[in-house]
């Protein structure tokens, strides 16, 4: 099975090089990997004590970040290497100063794994959530490098738990310890013979809880909202825009402001969105210190400020819930105690599943449901308050994963 896996990986490597000629994102995926060893050689040496943290993309990076920050504080003499698999994560964070080197993870061939791990020579490897790469894990195990999987979330549908999944189950033996999000994940691991597991929760709760400690004031938002009810639509996609636009265009309420922050900042799509709204609309890029208090809708055509914008929200709509695997971060608005509206597809996102069950996150599958949910939150204060409290309490009750992980890592590094 290992031989078959390696054949498939080599074929995939060839295919992505061909596809890169026609696909800009895949081109980044291929071109970025050419600079791995040059970046590493400039920033770390064989004499350094290194901790390697691997994340798939931006979401997993946010989960790994609290652990990195804690370890940097606890072990200031160590250097840190962060790797990404996806261009969407790497391109956003490649210049972040959280690590000594931020690079792509090489494709998971045995040759690549040997070369990369020799170059990094980590004292500890930390993989985040779903990242299981058999060849890299094989070499880490052979070199007896302590390796952790943190904020892990297992589901019975995954290959590890199928009768034909022995190859991937074997890869799990490389992990020194698993820190999982819930007891179901722990029980699934136990069912296939892994007892080296702790239910720690999700480190993202620690990450978002720190948002409350920062200064979230934005002068343009204060000017725009004028203390009126503010609906913030974050990380939105065109399908969700249809419901949102219909609501904005048809509501007769005068005391509501709307903020839309599309996931993709594409000029033509932003212009199309703006033109489809029949009320007074302004783009963030058009503000230029002007008074925007008279506008009804603000479109955020930039990145990096959405977290602070959520602090002004009374209600949040989070995009991505109309396509499989696409729901975006619901915890960032939840930490502010904001009721949240999403699309109907949220399975696999534990925090969304939990909050839907608790009724702090409210799914809507069509226009009628979308309109009804918003109208009820706006018009019924008691319903609004109870929904908001659910989300605020949920985040507060789930912090602490980072300290559990860091405490365990302390016992590992003492012995290195």
Residue 341: pLDDT over 80: yes
Q: State pTM to two decimals.
A: 0.87
Which residues contact residue 391 at a Cβ distance below 8 angstroms, ignoring those fewer than 6 apart? Answer: 333, 334, 335, 337, 338, 339, 340, 355, 360, 361
pLDDT tens sequence across 146-193: 999 999 999 999 999 999 899 999 999 999 999 999 999 999 999 999
CATH code 3.40.50.2000 for 217-398: yes
- Per cent of the chain over pLDDT 90 is 82
pLDDT tens sequence across 292-302: 999 999 999 99
Q: Report the distance separating Cα 393 and Cα 334, nearest Å.
A: 9
Mean pLDDT of the chain: 94
pLDDT tens sequence across 363-412: 999 999 999 999 999 999 999 999 999 999 999 999 999 999 999 999 88
Catalytic residue set: 60
Q: Which ranges in the chain are annotated with CATH 3.40.50.2000? A: 217-398
- In CATH, what is the architecture of 32-201+400-414? 3-Layer(aba) Sandwich (3.40)
Give the per-residue pLDDT at 415.
61
Give the per-residue pLDDT at 23.
87
Which residue, among 231, 343, 221, has the nearest Cα to 284 in the 3D structure? 221
* Structure token pair of residue 387: 């929904």
β-pairing, 177-180 with 197-199?
parallel
Residue 416: pLDDT over 90: no
Q: Which ranges in the chain are annotated with CATH 3.40.50.11720? A: 32-201+400-414
Residue 325: pLDDT over 80: no
pLDDT tens sequence across 22-76: 888 888 888 889 999 999 999 999 899 999 999 999 889 999 999 999 999 999 9
Describe the crossing of helices 381-396 and 350-358 by its angle, rounded to 10 degrees: 140
């Amino acid at each position: 099975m290992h031989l078959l896996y390696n054949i498939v990986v080599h074929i995939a490597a060839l295919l992505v090089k061909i596809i890169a000629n026609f696909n800009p994102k895949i081109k980044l995926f291929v071109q970025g990997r050419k600079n791995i060893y040059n970046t590493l050689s400039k920033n770390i040496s064989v004499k350094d004590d290194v901790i390697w943290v691997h994340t798939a993309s931006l979401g997993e990076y946010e989960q790994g970040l609290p652990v990195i920050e804690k370890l940097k504080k606890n072990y200031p003499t160590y250097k840190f290497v962060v790797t990404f698999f996806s261009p969407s994560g790497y391109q956003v964070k490649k210049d972040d100063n959280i690590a000594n080197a931020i690079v792509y993870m090489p494709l998971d061939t045995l040759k690549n794994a040997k070369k990369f791990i020799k170059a990094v020579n980590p004292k500890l490897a930390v993989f985040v959530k779903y990242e299981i790469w058999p060849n890299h894990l094989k070499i880490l195990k052979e070199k007896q490098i302590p390796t952790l999987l943190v904020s892990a979330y297992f589901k019975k549908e995954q290959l590890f738990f199928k009768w034909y999944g022995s190859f991937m189950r074997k890869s799990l033996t490389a992990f020194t310890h698993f820190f999982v999000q819930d007891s179901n994940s722990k029980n699934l691991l136990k069912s296939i013979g892994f007892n080296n597991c702790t239910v720690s929760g999700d480190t993202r709760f620690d990450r978002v809880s720190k948002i409350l400690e920062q200064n979230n004031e934005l002068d343009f938002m204060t000017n725009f909202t004028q203390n009126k009810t503010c609906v913030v639509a974050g990380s939105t996609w065109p399908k969700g825009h249809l419901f949102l636009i219909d609501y904005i265009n048809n509501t007769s309420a005068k005391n509501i402001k709307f903020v839309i922050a599309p996931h993709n900042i594409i000029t033509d799509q932003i212009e199309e969105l703006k033109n489809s709204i029949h009320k007074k609309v302004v783009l963030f890029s058009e503000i230029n210190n002007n008074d925007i208090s008279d506008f009804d809708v603000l479109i955020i055509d930039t990145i990096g400020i959405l977290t602070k914008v959520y602090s002004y929200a009374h209600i949040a709509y989070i995009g991505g819930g109309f396509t499989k695997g696409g729901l975006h971060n619901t915890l960032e608005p939840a930490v502010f105690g904001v009721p949240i509206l999403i699309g109907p597809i949220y399975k696999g996102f534990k925090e969304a599943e939990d909050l839907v069950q608790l009724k702090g996150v409210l799914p809507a599958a069509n226009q009628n449901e979308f309109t009804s949910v918003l109208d009820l939150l706006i018009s019924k204060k008691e319903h609004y308050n109870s929904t908001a409290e659910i989300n605020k309490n949920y985040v507060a009750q789930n912090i602490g994963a980072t300290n559990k992980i860091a405490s365990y890592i302390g016992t590992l590094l003492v012995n290195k």
